[in-house]
Amino acid sequence: MRDLLDGLAGSERRSAAAMAAASTAIAESARIARRCRLKAAVFGPQAGLDQGPSVCDDANAWPLESVPRAVTGEVLDVSPHILVIGKGEVEERFALTADANAWRGAKTDPAAVKVGDHAVVRRHDSGREVADRIWANIGRVTGTIVRRDGDTLVVDRGDGSGNQVLVIAERASGRIQVRFPRLEPGYLIDIIGVRHDDFLEGLVPATSQPAYRADHVPGPPLVNGHVPGSFSGAAIWHEQGDEPDGLIGTAYPAVDPQNAATTRAGRQQAASGCVSLPYLSIGSLLRVRNDCTGLSRVLPVIGSAASARLFCDRSVICGPSPRGRIADLTLASFVELGGELDEGNFNVTIEIEG
């Protein structure tokens, strides 16, 4: 009986610690979204977007009392029935059902996940301590090829964070070169694979390579009249890099180049790659809907999606979307909205909330 009580107490402590970690990530999103409230205080409600005083307060897509579905951390233990994820002093234990599945370079059984792997877990709808999907060591490199040496590519992500090294796995070389025939400097690439310390082992082409060079992106169509209230296209995800685990938000392809709060007249149409989008500032709020799952959340703009604007491709997860990438979601946001990391994208519709 004593062992049972100790086990229950330990489970409660782990749950409390997990909630504290989730609250920290959500608080970071709230800090970004507070810029929206400051902008509203200075400039007042924006024309055509007066949705009441609470619009900025909706920036926390997941309230503090809720439990985020996406959990990231190191695999501490794994068995056919249990997975334990840790982040610092925080541990979470997940039951593995017969329906749970995993990805570790390819779709696999959850038991194939290894201790020490960096994993992303999506909770099952049925319970907070039940795993639905697991991705182990998944990573992504998206951007412009700047150098090639055999199967090793150096890629500029365009966000000022430095170049990434991509090594195309021999077993995936044929599949990747069918989708990316021009592995040459100046051309775009987008590959999903297994993350190692210093490079990404490329395994899955996330799209088909655009025929144009990165410095010859087609211009957007002209837009007459008012900026539309919503726009559709493809949503992708990016690795968290320096972002805290669980950060909620999205990078946006048409961030105001002056990075200042936009005025009422500031929602002018931007020449954002092949898609016409309105300029927005960091802290602006977008309602992002996964058109394939129907899930939607209000997310703050947390940065500029420099590489996303260069791709004029479509998502075809549930039928072809309009051309263009209009959201580059944080890893947690992508998973929370029902996206599959190994597929890399989904069809999305965005409305400007504030």
pTM: 0.80
CA dist., res. 131 & res. 101, Å (int): 9
CA dist., res. 235 & res. 325, Å (int): 6
Whole-angstrom CA distances from 32 to 46, 245, 246, 251, 286 are 19, 15, 14, 12, 13
CA dist., res. 262 & res. 272, Å (int): 17
If residue 232 lies in a helix (H) or strand (E), which one and from where to where?
strand 230-237
If residue 96 lies in a helix (H) or strand (E), which one and from where to where?
strand 90-103
All residue ranges of the chain with pLDDT < 50 are: 1-9, 11-12, 14-19, 21-26, 32-33, 37-65, 260-269, 271
CA dist., res. 109 & res. 192, Å (int): 19
pLDDT given for residue 241 in this prediction: 85
**300: which residues sit within 8 A by CB, 6+ positions away?**
29, 32, 33, 35, 36, 59, 248, 249, 250, 282, 283, 284, 285, 286
Phi, psi of 166 (to 5 degrees): -120, 125
Query: Is 212 strand, coil or helix?
Result: coil
Q: What residue has token string 């105001």? A: 256
Q: Where are the domains of the chain?
A: 1-66+217-354, 138-205
Query: Is 305 strand, coil or helix?
Result: coil
Which residues does residue 107 pair with via DSSP β-bridges, in sequence order? 103
- Among the CATH numbers 3.40.50.300, 3.30.565.10, 2.40.50.140, 2.160.10.10, which is that of 138-205? 2.40.50.140
Class of the domain covering 1-66+217-354: mainly beta
pLDDT given for residue 256 in this prediction: 79
CA dist., res. 195 & res. 76, Å (int): 18
DSSP code string of 19-66: HHHHHHHHHHHHHHHHHHHHHHHHH-SPTT----TTTGGGG-SS-TTS
Around Cβ 185, how many Cβ atoms within 10 Å? 15
pLDDT given for residue 197 in this prediction: 93
pLDDT given for residue 272 in this prediction: 55
Phi, psi of 95 (to 5 degrees): -80, 140
CA dist., res. 113 & res. 126, Å (int): 22
**30: which residues sit within 8 A by CB, 6+ positions away?**
59, 60
